[in-house]
Amino acid sequence: MSQVRAKISGVQGYVPDYVLTNKELESIVETTDEWITSRTGIKERRILKGEDKGTSVIGIEAVKGLLQKTNTDPADIELLICATTTPDMPFPATANIIANSVGAVNSFSYDIQAACSGFIYALITASQFIETGKYKKVIVVGADKMSSIIDYTDRTTCIIFGDGGGAVLLEPSEDGTGIMDSMLRSDGSGEEFLHMKAGGSRRPATQETIAAREHYVFQEGSAVFKFAVTNMADISFKIMEKNNLTGDDIAWLVPHQANKRIIDATSKRMGIGDQKVMLNIHKYGNTTSGTIPLCLWDYEDKLNKGDNLILAAFGGGFTWGSVYLKWAYDSN
Ligand code: UT7
């Protein structure tokens, strides 16, 4: 009997309409379009505007589109996992809110939090349910409203992040396509370099925490950069080595979009040319859990059945990892 793998059988993204350009950021903090472009590769990012709109708005739009596009009855969805670092509320899970809104009435749902590696953590978690043979239709969402935890007086972080996300449908595959291998890692000693100081159980919200601006992303950029460059490149190289793949065998690298310089270092280490690297950081910035599904959505029409893809991410935690998959369908 052939091995049951989990395949991505559809992808859909969603980004809010509002475009926050580098030019507009020049009027908010002391920065320049030239600095942001040359240091990160970002030109603009999307912002979810409006009262009472959380990450679920992004997830719901992506999942609705995905169900329609794949002609899937929401009642057939058995599990929905949402990777997010900016849930609508500490509880209930944003996944519950999304599942309820799209009519996934027969599913169970929960969130996974692994910062910028959230989508690949959720993808690999979800794939286990398919590989056991017990589940046939699972949705994985990666979405973040990063603008809700960004300090727009801090030029070192506000230029990087944006809002957006996407969703994929996972189904069983028996034709050799689907998720072939993965390597996931975490190192909690990275906490000091990238975290949100208050708002959790260690430092609940008080007037003091608010006055001290502790409910925003704190990042020691250059320290995180060094860890990200090394670990994202290393793990992507290792998964290729483990699976006897050379740069020529890879159709696409699908990297987390944190900084164009980190992406370039990763593709160089893997021995693959720029033309095989999915890139949309210039349009959306770093959407945390949203970057990888947004890349797959943007490049879907260029993907062919059997293409070898390497997904790679690095984020707060620290968390990082890579996924090797064979794309399961022709989009044209
Ligand atoms: O996705 C999750 C994981 N996160 C990441 O992977 C992010 C990793 N880090 C980075 O991408 C980069 O470190 C940043 C984009 C955050 C910063 O770039 P950098 O090249 O590492 O800059 P830096 O922090 O070393 O700062 C260099 C200089 C400093 O000025 P001085 O001290 O040399 O005078 C900063 O104050 O650039 C200054 N600077 C800015 N200047 C203009 C920092 N931010 C800005 C800015 N505009 N927005």
Residues 185 and 158 in one domain: no
Count of domains for the chain: 2
The active-site residue, picked from 256, 259, 280, 295, is 256
| Domain-embedded: residue 291 | yes
| Domain-embedded: residue 120 | yes
Annotation says 295 is catalytic: no
Annotation says 116 is catalytic: yes
Which tokens in the block code for residue 152?
């727009």
Residues 69 and 12 in one domain: yes
Q: Cβ neighbours of residue 90 under 8 Å, at least 6 residues apart?
A: none
Residues 165 and 246 in one domain: no
Question: Which domain-ending residue is among 175, 195, 215?
Answer: 175
Annotation says 256 is catalytic: yes
Domain that holds residue 197: 180-326
Crossing angle of helices 260-270 and 33-40, rounded to 10°:
20
CA of 42 to the centre of ligand 1 (A): 13
Q: What is the CATH number of the domain that holds 117?
A: 3.40.47.10
- Give, for all 332 residues of the chain, the pLDDT tens digit: 568 999 999 999 999 999 999 999 999 999 999 999 999 999 999 999 999 999 999 999 999 999 999 999 999 999 999 999 999 999 999 999 999 999 999 999 999 999 999 999 999 999 999 999 999 999 999 999 999 999 999 999 999 999 999 999 999 998 999 999 999 999 999 999 999 999 999 999 999 999 999 999 999 999 999 999 999 999 999 999 999 999 999 999 999 999 999 999 999 999 999 999 999 999 999 999 999 999 999 999 999 999 999 999 999 999 999 999 999 999 86
| Domain-embedded: residue 332 | no
Question: Which domain-ending residue is among 156, 175, 194?
Answer: 175
| Domain-embedded: residue 331 | no
Cis peptide before 193 (omega within 30 of 0): no
Q: How far apart are CA 8 and CA 10, in angstroms?
A: 6
